[in-house]
Structure 1
Amino acid sequence: MPNALIATAPDFSQPIAVLKHCHDRIRKQLDTLQNLLEHLPQHGNDAQAQQAAQSIMRYFNQAAPHHHADEEVDLLPMLSVTASGEDAALLQKLMPEIMAEHQQMDKLWHALDQQLTSIADGESTNQLSAQDVQQFSAIYSAHMEKEETWIAPMAKRLFNEQQMQQLGSAMQQRRGISV
């Protein structure tokens, strides 16, 4: 009997579930980022602040780029080949938006990463911009909502078992996990 108390990540045989799991982890990191913004003025750059900054940086410097590549290199191109009719029209509208949002998030992340590095290194307490945090969180949240509302359901509906396996394998290889 599996232990229901321990949350496990979906495996790559369910690539759309893996992408959703990534979104859930992104939301947790965005919450940590907001908590850090509130923590710093009250507690300064203490060990908790440094640990939070390191955790956020680790996720957005390592896992998030893989997630974006999953979408840009595999998911969206596969959908564009598979979709037809209304799905194709919707995809044609959403793909440029999604790609542009990835670029916006990368640019905002670059600024936040520099701020968080100072915090993680114990150098600064007031270097986290509330505006940068708000903008990054807002763009990411709207972006994930768009993907969960339109892209993921479309992929679930249109992809056959072989396409799901192909997507999952590509995602797994991107992360250096043997297939």
Structure 2
Amino acid sequence: MPSPLPLPARTARPQPVSPRIDDPIALLRACHEKVVRFTQLAQRLQAHVAEHGADAQAREAATAVLRYFTLAAPLHHADEDENLFVALRALGHADVNARIDALQQEHDTLGALWLPVRAWLAHIAEGQTPPHGSPDGSPDVDGFATRYRAHVAQEEASVYPHAAELPAPVLRALADAMVARRSPPQD
């Protein structure tokens, strides 16, 4: 009996964000919800592949996880690193700035943890048996997923609440940067 791998809602590519964003922090939190869903899907996929191999369900799930973490997650990290965290640093809270330093370093760590997971998912998306490492050929998917979800929780608990201190023009600038990052280049 095939194991169910329900997929999160998907699109062919990241869609441009409406230019009428009025709550960029809510959009960043929505991205965190997707991180949770896609890391959970990667973990379910690991068990599915161990039992069923790179079947059609596995290929579809692997493609969805790859798409999210290859296209959307880097945009989200840029939203934080280049805009939100810069604005929050300007508030001058030493404790928040120290947490931001740690979170930005964690972005690099998550990027490094992603690389072997990405390679594993690419094999599955192509219908290939993943290379062997662990018994099912997968990298530390659980470690990647757990660390990413802990990172998201830390951002939301210790840094995002301070966005309420940002003035409206700064939030508008954050929203504009998010829209520009996701919009096709203008000729």
How would you bin the TM-score normalised by the shorter chain? 0.7 to 0.9
Q: Which has the higher helix share?
A: 1
- The alignment status of 1:19 with 2:28, answered yes or no, reads yes
For residue 177 of structure 1, report the CA deviation from its aligned partner: 6.2
Q: Pick from 138, 156, 164 the counterpart of residue 128 of structure 1.
A: 138
Please give the alpha-carbon distance, in whole angstroms, between the structure 1 residues aligned to 2:160 and 2:97: 15
Residue aligning to 1:6:
none
Deviations 1:119-156 (A, max 9, x none): 11011153322xx1111112111111111112111012
Is residue 13–residue 165 contact of structure 1 (8 Å, CA) maintained in 2?
A: yes
Look up the equivalent residue of 1:61 and give its one-letter code: T
What's the % identity of the aligned pairs?
Answer: 33
Please give the alpha-carbon distance, in whole angstroms, between the structure 2 residues aligned to 1:45 and 1:111: 17
Please give the alpha-carbon distance, in whole angstroms, between the structure 1 residues aligned to 2:75 and 2:113: 17
Please give the alpha-carbon distance, in whole angstroms, between the structure 2 residues aligned to 1:43 and 1:18: 36
Is residue 50–residue 119 contact of structure 1 (8 Å, CA) maintained in 2?
A: yes
Residues 110-149 of structure 1 correspond to what in structure 2 (within 5 A)? 110-125=115-130, 126-129=136-139, 132-149=140-157
Is residue 22–residue 172 contact of structure 2 (8 Å, CA) maintained in 1?
A: yes
For residue 171 of structure 1, report the CA deviation from its aligned partner: 0.6
Change (3 A) 1:33 1:139: same
Residues 90-101 of structure 1 correspond to what in structure 2 (within 5 A)? 90-101=95-106
Secondary structure at the aligned position of 2:159 is classed as helix
Matched pairs, number: 163
Is residue 119–residue 127 contact of structure 1 (8 Å, CA) maintained in 2?
A: no
Compute the TM-score of the two structures, normalised by the length of structure 1: 0.86
Residues 38-57 of structure 1 correspond to what in structure 2 (within 5 A)? 38-57=47-66
Please give the alpha-carbon distance, in whole angstroms, between the structure 2 residues aligned to 1:135 and 1:112: 10
- When the two chains are superposed, the root-mean-square deviation of aligned CA atoms in Å is 1.7
Please give the alpha-carbon distance, in whole angstroms, between the structure 2 residues aligned to 1:153 and 1:96: 16
For residue 70 of structure 1, report the CA deviation from its aligned partner: 0.4
Q: Which runs of 5+ in 1 are unaligned?
A: 1-8
Change (3 A) 1:170 1:107: same
Residue aligning to 1:107:
112
- The alignment status of 1:170 with 2:180, answered yes or no, reads no
For residue 92 of structure 1, report the CA deviation from its aligned partner: 2.3
